[in-house]
Structure 1
Amino acid sequence: MLDNLPIQALLPELRAQLASQRQLIIEAPTGAGKSTALPFAMLDWPEIDGRILMLEPRRVAARSIAGFLAKQRQQALGDDIGFRVRGESKVGRNTKLEIITEGILTRMIQQDPTLDGVAMIIFDEIHERHLSTDLGLALALEVQESLREDLTLVAMSATLQGLPLEQLMPNASKLVSEGRSFPVTIAYQAAKTQTNASYMPDWLSHMGRMISALMQPDSAIALGASAEQAAGSLLAFLPGKREILQLQEYLTERLDSAILLLPLYGELTAAEQDAAIAPVANGVQKVVLSTNVAESSLTIDGITMVVDSGYKRQASFNPKTAVTRLGLKRISQASATQRAGRAGRLSAGFCLRLWSSEEQARLMAADEPEIACSELLGMAFDAANWSVKSLNDLPLLTPANAANEAVAWQLLQSLELVDAQRNVTAHGKQAYQLGASVRLAHMLVKANELAQKRQQPQLIGLACLLAALLEAGGGSGSSDVLNRLASATNGLAGRLCRNWLQRFGIKDAPQSFIPAANRSDTAMLLAFAFPDRVAMARGQQGFLLANGTGVMLDSSDPLNQADWLVVADFQEQQGRSAGRVWLACELPAALLQQELSYLCHWQEVAQWQEERGRIQAERQLCLGKLVLKSEPLALSSEMRVRGFLDYVARKGLAVLNFDERARQLQFRCAIARSHQPDFADLTDETLLGSLADWLAPYLNDVQNIGQLKALNIYAILLDSLSWPQRQQLQQWLPEHWPMATGTNAPVRYDAAGRALLSVRLQEALGMAHSPQLLDGKLTVTMELLSPAQRPLALTPDLASFWAGPYVEVKKEMRGRYPKHLWPDDPANTQPTKFTKKRTLNQ
């Protein structure tokens, strides 16, 4: 079965490269066999002396590929071929090919930087750009460079478009394979605008109707599928579990009961995932409702039709609140191609896209890498344990998001996992060994210390239950964590819980700790992990977290009656002002004076009081952004300055005298930075983040808002530049341009990085080309004016304007302004700022 795949043609050359090359890049489209036939063949190559690790982005793919290859070798999993995913492993002493998920590699390297016994690491589907992929590749490159010159690294992708692999691995050999996918007919069927009274969004109802139609032969043919395709099975791509369950309920009531309706997403058990992938009996059809787990590295038997919602659920991290928001977003063109290809893996297929062909052209070319938009806490902790002080010190495909990384290091330090120099502390080393996510690992270590101090082993048992519950996804049901502890004793959560209990030398079963669980201990442990998610009730508006985010529960939830919560799991929702709480625990207020008192601190604040029209100073006891109590404070001059800074920070720069000259200075500096990156940064975001540096020195004599608004912001910003920068700015990007007529024509700059010179057309006569600024790297856009100072033309190419559009301008303007020059050869005419008669007299 594997012998006929296109990748076979590439194997002789690949094998020959292994004699001298230790870095390989393979581009092999869908159906080439790179995930199956290639590693299968390598098992018997004597050139590979050691284990082969192949990374897959998803657990379901890792298990599926390993099971398929073991079957081809007529062996049990764990013999020559095995897999290792979180919470489950089928690997034996003689296993030569291990299919592993990405995060497993990072742990393996951290535990054994020499990767003893490993000969090759294959990074499959590297184009998906998960955080753990980028980090795993970076660490593997460092291991190869410093410790293991003999280690072979293979990066494989369906496409290299937009993937800077060749810059990261410039000496790697690149091999390209043909794909093997059958033709797929693409059809578009966008949802029509409608009023939908059901619980499903319009696009999801539309998707249900289209799937129902495709499972009826006549309707399927009418939509564009062939009779053969209509007789096969269907794969539907949805953004997440919630939509899958909604659509499953919708279709259950409408599809023939003989059609198998199978969900496929990450939280399902291995048996449930295998059921969606497994072949069905002849003549039986199935509909698989999947997230993007089926987008690559996974062949689902019998699929001839794909219905693509065109949506994905993407997590984006907000560094200001340290919260991840889940939003529904359109997929990229690359993702759409991958999804459509699922219909053509085994025969000619049909793909119905639930958007228009016009919208397809507007989709992003490729997905944004996670390192640019995700939380970087776990990645930073991994880096710290690799003795790295900045993520960008690692050989990464894409630089880390600077704001997100700063938040990650700050939280690691506040949890005492790293010190101020970003070195891992003793506490951090203990936490890292547990293999839990950062916050929960911190909680487990803290719980163990407290359990020993109090002689209360049930504390560590409860902590293991909570950690397992949260790591495994939390299940579903009540939002009160105390009502969900039982679900942490089974499945993946149960395996994790038992593992951590054993780490702490506890042999008791997880369920034995449930009866002793109480609200106070549970809230305390969760606050260890989530100090920024301690929440205070705010009347009818839900709760306010310590990080400043608003959250709400269902109106009928009993936890709404609490004064304080610790929120263990919530999501900010796109288009909603408050996040939705999924899992929380009531927090007894007494804990804030006792075990959690270290979270509270006194601070002196000064704020502008609108109703009183003055600055008021207070001493406040705070937990993050929550004010627990306050006391009035005498207003000093220093506090008054802080009060005005707070006012500007809250209201924005618009409350200052940001006139056009100040804006022009901002634009000029932005253009200068594009030429010299270390030039002064005067963007609004930077100015708001550094008010104490540039604005505070000018506030000592400011007593009221009127005086604040009277400050000369242009002069203040100009003073913030060094003298050499001011000189350089004037040289590169002057505010005026001297014309041959003696006029100093104003040059305006804009946010798009353009320079615009406004001057009457007659004064630009004789100019062969537009002026050049920024050492010749910026061409001025000429705004040519009529004698009445009205715009006639806008052009960055003066020579082309004289040779072309000027002819029409001349025809129209000659009659309107007969006293002014409109020469036939403007490029070779002396400029003037006078009338024709006065010019001739001169």
Structure 2
Amino acid sequence: MCQISKLAERSLDADLALALSLNGRELFRDEQPLKILLMSATLEGERLSGILDDAPILRSEGRMYPVAMRWGRPFVPGEFIEPRVVQTVLDAINDESGSLLVFLPGQAEIRRVNQQLADALGSRSDILLCPLHGELDLAAQRAAIEPAPKGQRKVVLATNIAETSLTIDGVRVVIDAGLARLPRFDPGSGMTRLDTQRISRASATQRAGRAGRLEPGVCYRLWSEDQHAQMAAYGSAEILQADLAGLALQLARWGVTPEQLIWLDMPPSASYAQARQLLERLGALHGAKLTPHGEAMAELPAHPRIAHLLLRGQDLGLADMACDVAALLGERDILRGVGADVHSRLALLSGESRASRGGQGGVQRAKQLARQYRGYLRGKATQPVADPDHPRWLGALLALAYPDRVAQQRKPGGAEYRLANGRAALFSEVDGLMKQPWLVIADLGSRQGQREERIYLAAEFDPALLEGVLSEQVSVVDQLDWDEREGVLRAERQRKVGELVLSREPLTGLDEAARTGALVNLVRRKGLELLPWTPELRQWQARVGLLRQLDLQVQGDSEWPDVSDTALLGSLEDWLAPYLGRVSRLSHFASLDLSSIVHNLLKWPLPQRLEELAPHHIKVPSGSSVRLDYSEHPPILAVRLQELFGLADTPRIAGGRQVVKLHLLSPARRPVQVTQDLANFWRSTYAEVKKDLKGRYPKHYWPDDPLVAEATARIKPRKA
């Protein structure tokens, strides 16, 4: 039997376990069927039952005392919650008995509320303020969880760590700010940032339940009852917003792709693709296959980045340092507020320096984790370095875990660095590492409202390592591109780590295919506006596009080629490349005969049919030939109203399939009406328009019955 508890929390591990269990059940259905039991306090029962072949749903209500709800005024997005929280705590202390559990989104809010409550409570000794979050040492966490001493009450200020994972004795009052700060992975940058989000109704239920464990309780919700009904029923699954590198590694080990499994929520394709790219870069994957190195990584209970660091560190004879570094990266920062240098954290683990009293718990946890990692590494060094005690190896180990975060300083002594992944990051305040032209950034991120990534942990990096133990991170690229400043084509061989260029050297003797490819890439990057388009050519493009669209609407395909900008940019090699032989400077593009080039896209007899079906001009009853404007859909025929007298219906093109849009103009060529239904205009609107125009243009011809009147381009018809 497979039992998965707390599935409603929708952790990545729980979702993966369920998907693999369902797959295993299918594989061995005829031999020894696997029984699956899913458990949680708040469960999407019907949905889960459905993917388990309509499995029965069993409910055990358990013992729960009633919890009275106290609703607040509507929550306003962006407001500072601390004043409301503080006032609600003070009110609850006066109105209710027992200890209080206060849910806040993060540590910053906990610190501010703690300080404001301390100021408000003054010297009251019967109230204990107890912060509770993941970065506290074990003693501080224990103090928050244990019952309050006799004659005292506790106010526990907690993140969502207290929502499901912990039981806090003595609590009968919950104050819920309704917010949580959650990590969200950005596949575009490969980085995780913290977002403050509204909680779900399921989370609110879990939090309120903390007040009714031992006796009837009270829950103060700092939002309105109407807002509660609008909240999401359940929180977003971690799989939808997490780094999927570990999941991708396990699926590769299992020998399946996400599409072959049954999921509660399918892993996002962009995040999964980014995860596989990382695994390939770490040497864990070769194509769709797991490499021997990847197999070894999958054996370690660590993120793939950390597993790679440990295994390669062992190969280099740096196992002890690798385990310490891995422990530091796996633990919350054990030395906050004293600079970003990882060296100072390593000194705490080695005993070279001592942690402050508040940081000793984190140091002990990191040491314990390092010991565990040492227990996993049982192999021997295969490529031992000659000087394992040199400080540069810290940067090397970090670069093994974070090859995409090797970073080069933009300006000497500056705060901003450009990363190998093409992104930028900066120090938010002066740091000793700003003396270093190269870094490896171990921890960075941003919160809502921050535009740049902030550097939290880093170490100096010696780029000479890229010539030796990190040479696999270097790529050699023959780059043929335009010098934007000079407007000429330049060719060079670049040695790069990611997007960072280490060195350049000129290339000579380029073949024609490479040169043409560079020109095509330039057009693709800068867009079709680099070419000498004229208004007439843009009209031609729109005419062809209209006929193609009309065909697709009816029959699903068309003889007319796709000449949209998107299609043209995607097929530059086919239609533009053959004509680029004489282009060597940016200014030469203006000399291209673009009209002939694009007209060649229409094979005979389409050019003749284009003139028939989507003509340049339409002849109107006055005898004038009026130009059609195809820049909008439907095409516009802007014509003076008097020139349409006697015409009963709106003109059509494309063999009658497309009605034009009439812009009816005054004698001064100012718009007076827009319509695609000329018959209705004559019938219902013309009389009012005529009255207005007759007043403004009394010398002009305004008949009572436009359908029998003679059209004219003059002030009055010749015979009138």
Same-fold call, TM cutoff 0.5 = yes
> 1:135 Cα deviation (Å)?
2.1
Q: Is the 8 A contact 1:230 1:305 kept in 2?
A: no
Map 1:479-498 to 2 at 5 A: 479-485=340-346, 490-498=363-371
Which residue in 2 is equivalent to 1:519?
Answer: 391
Change (3 A) 1:53 1:334: closer
Map 1:405-554 to 2 at 5 A: 405-420=272-287, 422-451=288-317, 459-477=318-336, 478-485=339-346, 490-505=363-378, 517-538=389-410, 539=412, 540-553=414-427
Q: Is the 8 A contact 1:214 1:230 kept in 2?
A: no
* Secondary structure of the structure 1 residue equivalent to 2:468: coil
Change (3 A) 1:326 1:690: farther
Map 1:428-827 to 2 at 5 A: 428-451=294-317, 459-477=318-336, 478-485=339-346, 490-505=363-378, 517-538=389-410, 539=412, 540-553=414-427, 555-572=429-446, 575-576=449-450, 578-634=452-508, 636=510, 637-645=512-520, 647-648=522-523, 651=526, 655=530, 699-708=580-589, 786=664, 790=671, 812-813=688-689, 815-816=691-692
* Secondary structure of the structure 2 residue equivalent to 1:629: strand
Change (3 A) 1:521 1:352: same
Aligned partner of 2:475: which letter?
H
**Does residue 117 of structure 2 align to residue 244 of structure 1?**
no
Change (3 A) 1:735 1:712: farther
Which residue in 2 is equivalent to 1:379?
Answer: 247
In structure 1, C-alpha distance between the alignment counterparts of 2:84 and 2:301, rounded to whole Å: 44
Which residue in 2 is equivalent to 1:140?
Answer: 21
Aligned partner of 2:373: which letter?
W
Map 1:253-264 to 2 at 5 A: 253-256=119-122, 257=124, 258-264=126-132
Identity of paired residues, percent?
27
In structure 1, C-alpha distance between the alignment counterparts of 2:133 and 2:522, rounded to whole Å: 48
> 1:600 Cα deviation (Å)?
2.3
Q: Structure 1, residues 222-271: CA drift from partner, whole Å, max 9, x if none?
A: xxxx9745986251321x33443454345444444543323333344566
In structure 2, C-alpha distance between the alignment counterparts of 1:689 and 1:187, rounded to whole Å: 54
In structure 1, C-alpha distance between the alignment counterparts of 2:56 and 2:81, rounded to whole Å: 44
In structure 1, C-alpha distance between the alignment counterparts of 2:22 and 2:602, rounded to whole Å: 41
Q: Is the 8 A contact 1:184 1:340 kept in 2?
A: no
In structure 2, C-alpha distance between the alignment counterparts of 1:324 and 1:678, rounded to whole Å: 43
Taking structure 1 as the reference length, the TM-score comes to 0.62
Map 1:157-556 to 2 at 5 A: 158=42, 160=44, 168-169=51-52, 171-173=54-56, 182-188=68-74, 190=76, 203=79, 206-217=80-91, 228=95, 233-238=100-105, 240-256=106-122, 257=124, 258-269=126-137, 272-273=140-141, 275-280=143-148, 284-295=152-163, 302-308=171-177, 310=179, 312-319=181-188, 322-331=189-198, 334=201, 341=208, 346-353=216-223, 369-388=237-256, 390-420=257-287, 422-451=288-317, 459-477=318-336, 478-485=339-346, 490-505=363-378, 517-538=389-410, 539=412, 540-553=414-427, 555-556=429-430
Aligned partner of 1:411: which letter?
L
Change (3 A) 1:268 1:683: farther
Q: Is the 8 A contact 1:229 1:305 kept in 2?
A: no
* Secondary structure of the structure 2 residue equivalent to 1:188: coil
* Secondary structure of the structure 2 residue equivalent to 1:501: helix
In structure 1, C-alpha distance between the alignment counterparts of 2:134 and 2:67, rounded to whole Å: 26
In structure 1, C-alpha distance between the alignment counterparts of 2:556 and 2:38, rounded to whole Å: 35
In structure 1, C-alpha distance between the alignment counterparts of 2:545 and 2:127, rounded to whole Å: 63
Give the CA RMSD over aligned residues: 5.7
Aligned partner of 1:590: which letter?
A
Change (3 A) 1:666 1:438: farther
In structure 2, C-alpha distance between the alignment counterparts of 1:278 and 1:560, rounded to whole Å: 44
Change (3 A) 1:571 1:393: same
Q: Structure 1, residues 28-80: CA drift from partner, whole Å, max 9, x if none?
A: xxxxxxxxxxxxxxxxxxxxxx67441x3xxxxxxxxxxxxxxxxxxxxxxxx
Which residue in 1 is equivalent to 2:360?
Answer: none
Which of structures 1 and 2 has the bigger CA Rg? 2
* Secondary structure of the structure 2 residue equivalent to 1:187: coil
> 1:429 Cα deviation (Å)?
0.8
Q: Structure 1, residues 632-660: CA drift from partner, whole Å, max 9, x if none?
A: 22373444444445545655666567886
Aligned partner of 2:341: which letter?
D
In structure 2, C-alpha distance between the alignment counterparts of 1:682 and 1:252, rounded to whole Å: 70
> 1:521 Cα deviation (Å)?
2.2
In structure 2, C-alpha distance between the alignment counterparts of 1:522 and 1:641, rounded to whole Å: 45
Q: Identify which range, 679-688 or 480-489, moves more after superposition.
A: 679-688
Q: Is the 8 A contact 2:520 2:572 kept in 1?
A: yes
Change (3 A) 1:361 1:597: same
In structure 2, C-alpha distance between the alignment counterparts of 1:668 and 1:288, rounded to whole Å: 69
In structure 1, C-alpha distance between the alignment counterparts of 2:201 and 2:549, rounded to whole Å: 33
Which residue in 2 is equivalent to 1:151?
Answer: 35
In structure 1, C-alpha distance between the alignment counterparts of 2:72 and 2:53, rounded to whole Å: 37
Report how many aligned residue pairs link the two structures.
Answer: 649
Q: Is the 8 A contact 1:747 1:756 kept in 2?
A: yes
Change (3 A) 1:216 1:227: closer
* Secondary structure of the structure 1 residue equivalent to 2:81: helix
> 1:598 Cα deviation (Å)?
3.0
In structure 1, C-alpha distance between the alignment counterparts of 2:233 and 2:506, rounded to whole Å: 57
> 1:438 Cα deviation (Å)?
0.4
> 1:213 Cα deviation (Å)?
2.0
Change (3 A) 1:834 1:448: farther
* Secondary structure of the structure 2 residue equivalent to 1:233: strand
Aligned partner of 2:258: which letter?
L
Change (3 A) 1:463 1:304: same
Unmatched 5+ stretches in structure 2: 351-362, 381-386, 695-700
Q: Is the 8 A contact 1:530 1:567 kept in 2?
A: yes
Unmatched 5+ stretches in structure 1: 1-49, 57-122, 192-201, 221-225, 452-458, 508-514, 750-754, 775-779, 824-828
* Secondary structure of the structure 2 residue equivalent to 1:494: helix
Change (3 A) 1:523 1:212: same
In structure 2, C-alpha distance between the alignment counterparts of 1:254 and 1:764, rounded to whole Å: 84
Aligned partner of 1:209: which letter?
P
> 1:423 Cα deviation (Å)?
0.8
Change (3 A) 1:645 1:157: farther
Change (3 A) 1:245 1:228: closer
Taking structure 2 as the reference length, the TM-score comes to 0.71
* Secondary structure of the structure 1 residue equivalent to 2:444: strand
In structure 2, C-alpha distance between the alignment counterparts of 1:553 and 1:476, rounded to whole Å: 16
Q: Is the 8 A contact 1:184 1:344 kept in 2?
A: no
In structure 2, C-alpha distance between the alignment counterparts of 1:833 and 1:285, rounded to whole Å: 96
> 1:793 Cα deviation (Å)?
7.5
In structure 1, C-alpha distance between the alignment counterparts of 2:684 and 2:210, rounded to whole Å: 56
> 1:554 Cα deviation (Å)?
5.4
* Secondary structure of the structure 2 residue equivalent to 1:235: strand
Aligned partner of 2:185: which letter?
S
